[in-house]
């Protein structure tokens, strides 16, 4: 559908659906304003009508992290249109403050693209921690100490667009399933390595949510008994050793006076660490090795437990540390994982361009919109 125009017959051939089914689905999408007629295809027989996505319809993807809010705009084919990013300072962690960043970001991208709110099919909003996506509630965000925050209601007071709340782990998995280079692999784990840490899961090509949409809280599994205190209330969690603050703590323990330390800005500290690794700085290389040692053991646990085909390192910490982190992690995993499941697992860096969380969030919003069409059609029938 991303091309200028496609016939119903071509859609049927590509999807394996019957022409009658395709005709029904296309009709529903035309009625909903997602697709538009764009003319006819010249053929030797009866002319074939062509359809395409409506270029005036858009989706919004929002990546809410502990240090930033990223808002991206996509067309209905999920092609990137534009985006903005606002920094979130450590003291800006109250729900009203975070909501203000989301609202200003959404308004900014729509104003820049000259798109009225009524043309937005939906906004996918990813927030860290446990999320009740049906109720639009942030159930628990440990790094902000949020408990049962009705975020969707807070946003609905200022944004008149359909909103779909979820967790970055789910968003990243959807982005990888839809757009990642999976080489037809269907059992994948996407590791979100940022301020927080988690594991998005997909089995047989389908997103795995768990009973309460809480699957993947790998960052809050215990890695070190009685280890570092964690925001979740536990000790020794994976996140406290391989999340950005945990990596910075490795640096502080190894060299308290390191010029790479910037206690006010973890993103700049991680950038300085990445530059130190590239330059061969011995302290930076020790921090990398220490991080990979913990991360390798935690990933080996996932491999032994879930036997995945692919593990994808994603989010901004993985992007900053890149290939050096991947190389060290692969070696560390090999020391801990069982040989048979390890032999079937690839560990790779995400190849998705841009922000995979905002892309996946927009895809979740599109899924929500299409589900609404399906429900409405079933009700009419």
**Residue that the structure tokens 């890695």 belong to:** 223
CA dihedral 261, 264, 270, 273 (to 10 degrees): -20
Q: Is the dihedral of CA 326, 331, 310, 214 positive or negative?
A: negative
Q: What number is the average pLDDT over the span 163-174? A: 96
Percent of the chain with pLDDT over 70: 95
Return the closest-CA partner of residue 173 out of 194, 195, 188: 188
Gyration radius from the chain CA atoms: 22
pLDDT reported for residue 381: 55
User: Is domain 181-351 annotated with CATH 3.30.420.40?
Assistant: yes
% residues pLDDT > 90 (the chain)? 84
Top pLDDT among 180 and 327 is at 327
Q: Is it the case that residue 352 has pLDDT exceeding 90?
A: yes
Q: Is the pLDDT of residue 362 over 80?
A: yes
Domain 58-171+357-380 and domain 181-351 have a common topology: yes
In a 10 Å sphere around its CB, with 0-12 CB exposed, 13-18 middle and 19+ buried, how is residue 210 labelled? exposed
* Structure token pair of residue 107: 């308004």
Question: How far apart, in whole angstroms, are the C-alpha atoms of residue 300 and residue 46?
Answer: 59
pLDDT band per the 50, 70, 90 thresholds, residue 264:
confident
- pLDDT, average across residues 352-376: 89
Give me the mean pLDDT over the 176-183 stretch.
79
CATH fold of 6-53: Arc Repressor Mutant, subunit A (1.10.10)
CA atoms within 13 A of residue 254's CA, in its CB half-sphere: 22
pLDDT, average across residues 282-288? 98
Across the chain, what does the average pLDDT equal? 93
Between residues 54 and 373, which one has the greater pLDDT? 54
Over residues 13-37, the mean pLDDT reads 90
Give residue 154's pLDDT.
97
What mean pLDDT comes out for the span 13-23?
A: 92
**Each residue of 123-150: pLDDT tens digit?**
999 999 999 999 999 999 999 999 999 9
Centroid of chain to Cα 182: 16
pLDDT at position 377 is 57
Residue 1: predicted pLDDT: 47
Sheet of 163-166: strands edge to edge? 80-87, 68-75, 58-64, 120-126, 163-166
Q: Which CATH architecture has domain 58-171+357-380?
A: 2-Layer Sandwich (3.30)
pLDDT-based confidence at 184, cuts 50/70/90? low
pLDDT in tens, 97-112: 999 999 999 999 999 9
How does residue 371 score in pLDDT terms, banded at 50, 70 and 90?
A: confident
pLDDT at residue 41, rounded to an integer = 83
Query: Which residue ranges make up each domain of the chain?
Result: 6-53, 58-171+357-380, 181-351
Greater confidence (235 vs 371) lies with 235
């Amino acid at each position: 559908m991303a091309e200028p125009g496609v016939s119903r017959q071509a859609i049927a051939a590509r999807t394996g659906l019957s022409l009658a089914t395709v005709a029904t689905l296309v009709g529903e999408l035309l009625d909903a304003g997602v697709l538009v007629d764009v003319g006819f295809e010249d053929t030797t027989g009866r002319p074939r009508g062509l359809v395409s996505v409506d270029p005036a319809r858009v989706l919004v993807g929002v990546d809410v992290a502990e240090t930033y809010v990223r808002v991206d705009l996509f067309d209905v084919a999920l092609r990137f249109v534009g985006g903005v990013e606002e920094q979130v300072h450590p003291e800006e962690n109250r729900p009203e403050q975070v909501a203000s960043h989301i609202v200003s970001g959404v308004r900014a991208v729509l104003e820049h693209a000259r798109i009225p709110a009524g043309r937005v099919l939906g906004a996918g909003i990813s927030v860290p921690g446990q999320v009740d996506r049906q109720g639009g509630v942030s159930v628990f965000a440990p790094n902000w100490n949020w408990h049962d925050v009705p975020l969707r209601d807070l946003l609905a007071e200022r944004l008149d667009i359909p909103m779909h709340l979820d967790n970055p782990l789910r968003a990243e998995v959807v982005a990888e399933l839809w757009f990642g280079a999976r080489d037809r692999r269907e059992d994948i784990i996407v590791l979100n390595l940022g301020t927080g840490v988690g594991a998005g899961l997909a089995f047989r090509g389908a997103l795995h949510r768990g009973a309460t949409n809480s699957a993947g809280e790998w960052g809050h599994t215990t890695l070190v008994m009685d280890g570092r205190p964690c925001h979740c209330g536990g000790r020794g969690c994976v996140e406290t050793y391989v999340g950005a603050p945990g990596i910075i703590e490795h640096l502080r323990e190894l060299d308290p006076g390191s010029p790479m330390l910037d206690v006010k800005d973890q993103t700049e500290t991680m950038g300085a660490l990445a530059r130190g690794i590239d330059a061969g700085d011995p302290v930076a290389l020790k921090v990398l090795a220490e991080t990979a040692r913990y991360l390798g053991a935690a990933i080996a646990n996932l491999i032994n437990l879930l036997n995945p085909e692919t593990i994808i390192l994603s989010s901004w910490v993985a992007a900053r540390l890149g290939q050096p982190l991947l190389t060290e992690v692969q070696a560390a995993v090999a020391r801990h994982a069982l040989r048979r499941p390890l032999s079937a697992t690839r560990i790779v860096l995400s190849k998705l361009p841009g922000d995979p969380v905002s892309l996946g969030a927009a895809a979740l919003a599109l899924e929500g919109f299409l589900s609404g069409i399906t429900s409405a059609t079933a009700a009419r029938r």
